[in-house]
Structure formats: structure tokens, C-alpha cells
Amino acid sequence: MSDEELLGTTPKVTRILMSEEAIYGLILVSGMIVVSYNLTGTSLSALVTVVVTVIVFFCAHVYAGTLARLAATDGRAGLPESLRAAVHHSLGMLLISLIPIFVLLLGVTKAVDDDFAVWLALFIDALALGVLGWLAVAKWTHHFWLRLASALLTAAFGGVLIILKAFIHH
């Protein structure tokens, strides 16, 4: 089964989702869910915090990437091309955050309980991290144990935040 089939995406979207920004974005989202939900106890506050934080971090990534590309090329790359490249490079952070945002929306709309929405978003983030860790290593090796180790290590970043959520009470 190809990465695209497993993720249900096109090759272009798969490349974006398998980026460092996507992995970082999931970890960032999980952290923001834990912190904001523990402060107020509503999926609405978690949702707003996640959306605002992801947008700010995305913009900061794009800004930094644009400046770095301009500096690395002594300005020859040009502002429009540097900006376009930085947006493309950072898109994973935005795309991957849509999954937990959708889950938090289920809590906001009362389709599910607030607590359930938050826990589900955190578990989905950890699972997605594991899948991305597995797929990233699968690109360069067929060894099951290396793939599993990568999946577990990558998922552990989300797992730490789940443990933190379990021990922090609002």
C-alpha cells in the first residue's frame, strides 16, 4: 500500500503531510489543546487557542522562511518566489491541524461531550504522529523494527502530552 493510499491523499498532499512542519504542527496543536482546555474546560477555548496559535506559528514560519531564502540567495530569489516557497514549505502545519480542529468542533457543536472531543483530538494526534513516523522511515528501509521504533518515538511526543493532560486538572 502506498503512502497516498494509506493517508487517502494525492502525492503532493502526502509530501506536505510528511514534512517536519506537519509533525511539529501536531505536537504544537496537542500542547495547545492540553493547556487551553485545562485552563477553561471547554472545547471552544481549546479550538480558538489551537486555530489562533496555528495561524500565528504558520505566519511566523512563512516569514522566517521567506527571510532565510532571501538571505541565502542574497536576494536573487526575489520576494514573491521566496514567499511562495516558504508558504509551500510550511503548509503541513496548516493541513495537519484540520483533523484536531474538526474533532474539537464536534465538542463545540455538542455533537460529542467536551471532554471526549479533547481526548479524541489528543489520541488522533498521537496516532497521526505514529503513522507519519512509520511512513517517514519506510521511505528508506523495509526493516519492520526500525519503522516501528520510529512510529513509537514519533507518537511518544503526542503521548507525553496525553500523559500531561491526564495529570493536569482545571
Res 3: pLDDT: 59
Q: Quick one: which of 111, 118, 101 has its CA closest to 42?
A: 118
Which of residues 102 and 138 earns the better pLDDT score? Answer: 102
**In which region does residue 42 sit, left (phi positive, over 0), alpha (psi from -120 to 50) or beta (all else)?**
beta
Res 64: pLDDT: 96
Cβ neighbours of 166 (radius 10 Å): 11
Res 19: pLDDT: 82
Res 11: pLDDT: 73
Q: Quick one: which of 46, 76, 81, 50 has its CA closest to 65?
A: 81
Distance CA 153, CA 71 (A): 34
What does the pLDDT average to over 88-101? 92
Distance CA 34, CA 148 (A): 26
Domain boundaries, the chain: 3-164
Distance CA 18, CA 72 (A): 24
pTM: 0.84
Res 4: pLDDT: 61
pLDDT over 90 percentage in the chain: 58
pLDDT band at 14 (very low <50, low <70, confident <90, very high): confident
The tens digit of pLDDT for each residue in 106-162 reads: 999 999 999 999 999 999 999 999 998 888 888 888 999 999 999 999 999 888 888
Residue type, 147: R
Res 1: pLDDT: 62
